[in-house]
């Protein structure tokens, strides 16, 4: 049987565009893919990331090659640290012949924690995200984000009540642009240490007593949370810019208390 004759398939998206209008970001988003990342202790951990991959498109180019973004994710890279992710980002720019772009990944991240008294271990899940981006003629910038669940206890409630004080679950969001690499675990610890008390996946009765008393001895308004964490981020030389926000899901109201503050480090 004779081999079929080759068929010419025109590449329309590679043709010239005459509207003289560059596009800052074009690509794909909502792509879910398995990802293996390396923890702070060097251990590899798998997760499922939701990705957005984009590049800048010159004014004279009609379209980008969308399939190359997915081809990028198909490569077998093993466990990735931040350096490996930046290398993947550079490969993306090379594949798409672009000098600007953005790689964003959001995923659940599990941290193994030890209960404060019994020592029993369990996993705590957080929402994590990272972004690598580069403007035309610039260098890649890496940004990390974590959303950390904690306990906050109201100082006013404690002060005015004959006994007890109302507390609530809070979600603290830290977003930092890095000068030098940091881990998700380091950012999570900053949030936990400045909360009324941290959370654990599994507690025994002595642990429950400890976390209850820890929160009572360490009351904080939503304003206290963001200010105390901001001071920690502002003092961290590995961070170039930062933003911290806290949402307290009030136990005595049907609304949340919320605060945010941001800054850049010299």
- Is 214 contained in some domain? yes
- Is 102 contained in some domain? yes
Mean pLDDT rounded to a whole number for the chain: 94
| Token pair of 34 as six digits | 């398995």
Which ranges in 18-81 belong to alpha helices (H)?
Answer: 67-74
Question: pTM of the full predicted structure?
Answer: 0.91
- Is 120 contained in some domain? yes
- Helices and strands (H, E) in the chain, number of each type: 6, 9
| Token pair of 233 as six digits | 């981020």
| Token pair of 203 as six digits | 């507690």
| DSSP one-letter string for 154-165 | -HHHHHH-SS--
Q: What is the CA radius of gyration of the chain?
A: 23
Q: What is the CATH number of the domain that holds 63?
A: 3.10.270.10
Query: pLDDT by residue (tens digit) across 11-64?
Result: 877 788 899 999 999 999 999 999 999 998 889 999 999 999 999 999 999 999
- Is 7 contained in some domain? no
Predicted local distance difference test score (pLDDT) of residue 9: 80
Tokens 């675990």, residue?
A: 185
| 8 A C-beta contact, residue 219 and residue 236 | no
Residues in the chain: 266
């Amino acid at each position: 049987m004779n081999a079929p004759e080759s068929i010419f398939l025109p590449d329309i998206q590679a043709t010239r565009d005459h509207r003289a209008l560059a596009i800052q970001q074009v690509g794909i988003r909502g792509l879910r893919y398995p990802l293996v990342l390396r923890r702070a202790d060097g251990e590899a951990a798998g997760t499922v990331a939701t990705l957005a991959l984009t590049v800048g498109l010159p004014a004279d180019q009609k379209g980008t090659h969308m399939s190359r973004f997915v081809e990028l994710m198909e490569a077998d890279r093993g466990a990735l640290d931040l350096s490996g992710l930046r290398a993947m980002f550079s490969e993306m720019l090379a594949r798409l012949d672009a000098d600007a772009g953005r790689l964003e990944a959001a995923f659940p991240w599990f941290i193994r924690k030890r209960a404060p008294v019994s020592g029993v271990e369990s996993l705590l899940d957080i929402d994590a995200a990272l972004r690598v981006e580069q403007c035309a003629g610039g260098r890649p910038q890496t940004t990390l984000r974590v959303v950390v669940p904690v306990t906050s206890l109201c100082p006013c409630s404690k002060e005015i009540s004959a006994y007890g004080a109302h507390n609530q679950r809070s979600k603290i969001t830290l977003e930092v642009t890095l000068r030098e690499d940091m881990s998700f675990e380091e950012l999570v610890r900053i949030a936990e240490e400045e909360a009324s008390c941290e959370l654990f996946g599994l507690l025994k009765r002595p642990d429950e007593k400890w976390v209850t008393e820890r929160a009572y001895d360490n009351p904080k308004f939503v304003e206290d949370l963001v200010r105390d964490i901001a001071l920690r981020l502002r003092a961290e030389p590995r961070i170039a810019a930062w933003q911290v926000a806290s949402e307290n899901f009030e136990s005595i109201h049907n609304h949340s208390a919320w605060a945010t503050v941001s800054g850049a480090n010299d």
